[in-house]
Structure 1
Amino acid sequence: MDGKAGKGKDDDIVYPSGLKLALIVMSIFIGMFLVSLDRLIVSTAIPQITNEFNSADDIGWYGTAYLLTSCAFQLMFGKLYKVFSIKTIFLTSILLFEAGSAVCGAAPNSVTFILGRAIAGLGSGGVLSGVMAVIVYSVPLHKRPKYQGFFGAVFGIASVAGPLVGGAFTTHVTWRWCFYLNLPLGGVVMAIVFFLLQIPDRPSTQIPLKDKLQQLNALGMLAILPGVICLCLALQWGGTTYAWSDGRVIALLVLGLVFLVVFALIQVWKPEQATMPPRIFIQRSIASGFWVSCCTGAHMTMLLYYLPIWFQAIDGVSAVDSGIYLLAMLMPVVVASIAGGGLTTRIGYYAPFLILGVCLSAVGAGLLTTLEVGASAGKWIGFQIVYGFGLGFSTQAPNMAAQTVLPREDVTIGASLMFFGQQLFGAVFISVGQNVLDNQLTNRLAGIPGISRQVLESTGATELLNLIPAKYHATALGAYNDSLRMCFQVALIMACLSILGALGMEWRTVKKNLPPKKPDGERAAEEGKGEGCSSENEAQETDEKDRDGGAATAVSTVSTAATRTVSHTEEMTEQKTETGKAEAKGITV
């Protein structure tokens, strides 16, 4: 049941319920799934794409173009969602993503394909922030951790499905369907959001267009966009396309840092129009969450990128099988994300799960550094499980903190900051890992005839061992294993550093404004008087159960892999609500 809320008042918002909420939640998670899938689906299609376009020199741009626009515009989308209509910006983001996918699918040459990837990346940045914005205006705060758990589950499933789906389409149909797949599903998302999503007017959306444009902080945008682009290009090219001492790489690094410093100064100079207001960034939980997001982006990306290389080069399996082996990591991510969200909804606090998660991630990353040639399946499966559970418990906590400590109007800015840190550090540490691997291999294989840095840089990860004489094969395999372990050690360092951010997180509860439980008769009478009125601070239990049941059912359809876990969590939560609620409300810091 819907109605007009007060103009931007936090305590007057009317949340959707029942089937309407279910469809909205399902649609935004489909959008999230498509964006997450698109990041990795191209990996197994690249060989066929380069064969068709004769574009081996453009391989780096296929990933870089997507990354540049997604990362560069991430902070801007946070401000756009605050100043303009959330529904309009979200639909525009989906449309951009769809347009980019269509261009990629129909591309007649490599240049057009790269352009499509850039457009899709731009849209993906808006979709990520938009999912958070829609959740904020669709679900009460104390129920959001459950949906944040699904957010992490969707990411985990998409990470597994991306390379597998890409490989299947490329092998059995055509690589172009890796991108055409987005069109019908994205159309469904747009239709549901257009017809069902109703967000009340907010004070920031009612000001004149001229004032809105001033709020976007054009000077800040002119600094952050080239700054991020220069930095990402330097990190993508440094040590691979060009040497780190090359003038182009040095110039890009210097320009990137200068632009980022200028951006920071502009934020301090004009805080009322800042893209990232200092008052938000210096808030303790936001700063801590940003640090955790940066470290998580670093160690997660490194392990997702280099662990498959270990499977292929050291264990000798195919690219598809290496993706399947990652299920040992990513399925625990799904389970822990959903379980952590459900438990946070029950007890109200997300900080304990964040601390547990970063500690488990560090332990799991540490165990992965011990992998050796001939390691048993039990080891690499068990080590991944530990790491995966840690990642699942901790990944969504920074976004949950932003929703808890910030006013609703600022949540999209806080969420975009978390996504920005995760993406930027992910890009940085892919490059760091590549340089670590190249340097280690060069040093460890120096004594083998015919092996030089030039040979290493021009040879595929799994083809290197084929170039080495048979009598040196065992030595080279051990050197390759030790070099990859150094990459895992970098991931371990970042996982350990994330603990500092987790310990700095405030212990805030998502149940801080819940009303006390009342007798059944009194509660029923009040529900009869207030039928149709629901707010973030005064949500009726009966309406919440109706919404939760419908929404959880719909969300579970996004991925059948998570259905049983979701159902079990929901059932246990509902059975224990009456007996445990008084205890949950009695928790103090």
Structure 2
Amino acid sequence: MAPPNDAPFTFSRSEKVFTLLGALLGMLLAALDQTIVATAGPAIQDDLSIPASLYSWITTSYLVASTVMVPLWGKMSDQFGRRKILVTGILVFLAGSFLCGAAWGTVPLILFRAVQGLGSAALFTSAFAVVADLFPPAERGKYQGLFGGVFGLSSVVGPLVGGFITDTFGWHWVFFINLPVGVVALAVIFLRMPALRRPRTAPPKWDLAGVACLVVAVVPLLLALSLGRSHTAPGEAGFSWGSWQVLGLFAVSLVGAVLFVLVEAQADEPLLDLRLFQEKTFALGNATVFVIGAVFLSAFTFLPLFMVNVVGLSATRSGLTIMPLTLGVVAGNVLSGQLASRLGRYKVLMLGALVLLCVGFAVMGFTLSPDSTQATVTAKMVLMGLGMGPTIPLYTLAIQNAVPPRQIGVATSTTTFFRQLGSTVGVALAGVVFASALSHPMQTRTEQEASGTPAEVRSHLGVGMPGVSGEGGEAPVASQGLRMDRATKEAFTQATSSVYRVAIWVTLVALVLTALLPERPLRRGPMPPPPME
């Protein structure tokens, strides 16, 4: 069912239901896999004897492959139709899942995780593009909020499912479980999902030069951000930020980015039409998505460390305590989508969400203390989540509303690309802030607390554990150990607070960009968007 030119698609109610269900199942596959595999990571490492220097590559290979492929899948979905790309993405993802489950060693697992990443990029991109094909902008918000809610809930369900599967059936099944879910998704798609393809007057042209330049621009950048370290421990994969390896990767990435812009400006059918950036909503929207992405993942990454080292929870419980933050994201996501559909406006919701997010970061950054409890941190997490949630559907909605329907796939994939890139950059920079804020206070306070004690007692206190006996007697050593434990808590509190304080300023940048963002009323009818200037 292909409409001419930029006219919207028209569907029956059953076609909409099955199309949404197929896209939802595809997105659920990719979203659940990330959290389930993370939970099974220790068991995988133990069974395959994965060295510490390679363990992070299980995630890095997936992330790099997924990020690089996002723009490619988006362009191809505009050319060949959403159904073909969604089916292809699911098949690639399932092939990678089967190979990961059957992996016999570290290197094969890393390579097969990259295959999974190639497929997952199509699932994320297609999900939001399909919503744009099915519904006019005024109705998209509530459905995009639904997709965001599924993604958020997978962050809650994933660790529980991953732990159960790993403990009951073994880590191989965290990958094999994708196969029956994928088969159901394919059945739904083949049953009633239309092609979602627009007619073309000429065969599509492959922008191979653009693809090559994009790979050169993105892969070295992601590798540099993944491998860069403030401090490298023995056996740990990575290099210092000032090393020639990291600087060389950044240089190659810069060259690739320049070449990509030059090639795309001359291409007959570019991978990314640079003229889209002439549209102010598209340009500012993607810039804001990148900035928000920089703080989005950082808010989740360092909180478990605080819960373990300050609140005193186990590693497993610390992961589950992020559930209020995730549920806040889901609630904000769904609620903002519903409100945008009812109001026909999105900018006021964006600004309100970012103000709430700033308040949430400020509360976390200035009220965390060594005496914080799980209950007090939970309340603060909900506030942060409610501010984060609306940022997922609303900017995608605004950007889709600003481009012609024939370029929805490219526009959606570009937004996903900038969000993922921002998250990677943000986590790397937040890691530098956290490590810098942690190392100096830890060393200073340890020296202060241990000063004046016998040398042999100070050697025991290096581990910061109470009750270690020494020449001065058990009680004095226990007292010093408690003081050392307090010093550790204070250091982790300061480091975690520093991450959130920096996030305040980053969010303020996003707030300024959003204030400059033009707002087009969300179209309620089938009229295509006005032509771009």
User: Is TM > 0.5 for Structure 1 vs Structure 2?
Assistant: yes
Matched, 1:477 2:496: no
Q: Within 2, Cα distance between the matches of 1:304 and 1:318?
A: 17
Q: Within 1, Cα distance between the matches of 2:465 and 2:249?
A: 36
1:289 to 280, 285, 288: 285
Amino acid at match of 2:430: G
Q: 1:446 aligns to what SS in structure 2?
A: helix
2:220 to 230, 233, 253: 230
Preserved CA contact (<8 Å) 2:356 2:383 = yes
Preserved CA contact (<8 Å) 2:78 2:197 = no
Equivalent residue, structure 2, for 1:29: 24
1:10 to 7, 21, 26: 7
Equivalent residue, structure 2, for 1:131: 127
1:221 to 194, 211, 222: 211
Equivalent residue, structure 2, for 1:112: 108
Is the alpha carbon distance of 1:222 and 1:376 closer, same or farther for their aligned partners in structure 2, counting shifts above 3 Å?
Answer: same
Matched, 1:487 2:499: yes
Q: Within 2, Cα distance between the matches of 1:446 and 1:5?
A: 66
Is the alpha carbon distance of 1:398 and 1:466 closer, same or farther for their aligned partners in structure 2, counting shifts above 3 Å?
Answer: farther
Q: Within 2, Cα distance between the matches of 1:201 and 1:300?
A: 33
1:260 to 257, 261, 266: 257
| Superposition pairs of residues 4-403 of structure 1, within 5 angstroms | 4-11=1-8, 13-17=9-13, 19-56=14-51, 57-199=53-195, 201-204=197-200, 207-208=202-203, 212=204, 214=205, 216-239=206-229, 240=232, 241-270=238-267, 272-370=268-366, 371-403=368-400
Preserved CA contact (<8 Å) 1:7 1:200 = no
1:343 shift after superposition: 1.6
Q: 1:73 aligns to what SS in structure 2?
A: helix
Equivalent residue, structure 1, for 2:521: 509
Q: 2:288 aligns to what SS in structure 1?
A: helix
Q: 2:443 aligns to what SS in structure 1?
A: coil
Q: Within 2, Cα distance between the matches of 1:69 and 1:255?
A: 18
Q: Within 2, Cα distance between the matches of 1:382 and 1:228?
A: 38
1:466 shift after superposition: 5.7
Q: Within 2, Cα distance between the matches of 1:21 and 1:82?
A: 19
Matched, 1:425 2:422: yes
Is the alpha carbon distance of 1:164 and 1:495 closer, same or farther for their aligned partners in structure 2, counting shifts above 3 Å?
Answer: farther
Q: Within 2, Cα distance between the matches of 1:417 and 1:9?
A: 20
Which whole-Å deviations, capped at 9, do the CAs of 1:12-39 have from their partners, x for residues lacking one? x32231x442232122112112212222
Which whole-Å deviations, capped at 9, do the CAs of 1:146-194 have from their partners, x for residues lacking one? 1011021112111222223222222333122221121111111111112
1:465 shift after superposition: 5.6
Q: 1:369 aligns to what SS in structure 2?
A: helix
1:431 shift after superposition: 1.7
Q: Within 2, Cα distance between the matches of 1:194 and 1:466?
A: 60
Is the alpha carbon distance of 1:262 and 1:475 closer, same or farther for their aligned partners in structure 2, counting shifts above 3 Å?
Answer: same
> For structure 1, which segment, 248-257 or 282-291, has the greater mean C-alpha deviation from structure 2 after superposition?
282-291
Q: Within 2, Cα distance between the matches of 1:392 and 1:244?
A: 32
Q: 2:240 aligns to what SS in structure 1?
A: coil
Which whole-Å deviations, capped at 9, do the CAs of 1:79-126 have from their partners, x for residues lacking one? 111122321111101111111111111111111111111011111111
Q: Within 1, Cα distance between the matches of 2:266 and 2:240?
A: 37
Q: Within 1, Cα distance between the matches of 2:417 and 2:463?
A: 35
Amino acid at match of 2:91: L
> For structure 1, which segment, 79-88 or 376-385, has the greater mean C-alpha deviation from structure 2 after superposition?
376-385
Kindly, what percent of the aligned residue pairs are identical? 27
Q: Within 2, Cα distance between the matches of 1:142 and 1:87?
A: 24
1:361 shift after superposition: 1.1
Is the alpha carbon distance of 1:224 and 1:9 closer, same or farther for their aligned partners in structure 2, counting shifts above 3 Å?
Answer: closer
Amino acid at match of 1:63: T
Q: Within 2, Cα distance between the matches of 1:308 and 1:54?
A: 25
Q: Within 2, Cα distance between the matches of 1:46 and 1:6?
A: 47
Amino acid at match of 1:47: P
1:369 shift after superposition: 0.8
Amino acid at match of 2:50: S
Which whole-Å deviations, capped at 9, do the CAs of 1:276-326 have from their partners, x for residues lacking one? 212212311111211221122111100111111111121111222222221
Q: Which sections of structure 1, spanning at least 5 residues, go unmatched?
A: 450-462, 515-535, 539-589
Return the TM-score normalized by structure 2. 0.87
Is the alpha carbon distance of 1:372 and 1:35 closer, same or farther for their aligned partners in structure 2, counting shifts above 3 Å?
Answer: same
Equivalent residue, structure 2, for 1:434: 431
Preserved CA contact (<8 Å) 2:137 2:397 = no
Alignment length (residue pairs):
493
1:6 shift after superposition: 3.7
Q: Following TM superposition, where does structure 1 have runs of at least 4 consecutive aligned residues deviating by more than 4 angstroms?
A: 463-469
Q: What RMSD over aligned residues (CA atoms) do the two structures have, in Å?
A: 2.3
Preserved CA contact (<8 Å) 2:6 2:406 = no
Q: Within 1, Cα distance between the matches of 2:174 and 2:358?
A: 34
Which whole-Å deviations, capped at 9, do the CAs of 1:235-262 have from their partners, x for residues lacking one? 1111151112222111111111111121
Preserved CA contact (<8 Å) 1:160 1:323 = no
Preserved CA contact (<8 Å) 2:291 2:422 = yes
Which whole-Å deviations, capped at 9, do the CAs of 1:202-258 have from their partners, x for residues lacking one? 233x523xxx2x3x3211111111221101111111115111222211111111111
1:9 shift after superposition: 4.5
Preserved CA contact (<8 Å) 1:100 1:117 = yes
Is the alpha carbon distance of 1:350 and 1:106 closer, same or farther for their aligned partners in structure 2, counting shifts above 3 Å?
Answer: same
> For structure 1, which segment, 168-177 or 98-107, has the greater mean C-alpha deviation from structure 2 after superposition?
168-177
Q: Within 1, Cα distance between the matches of 2:309 and 2:41?
A: 19
Q: Within 2, Cα distance between the matches of 1:26 and 1:266?
A: 38
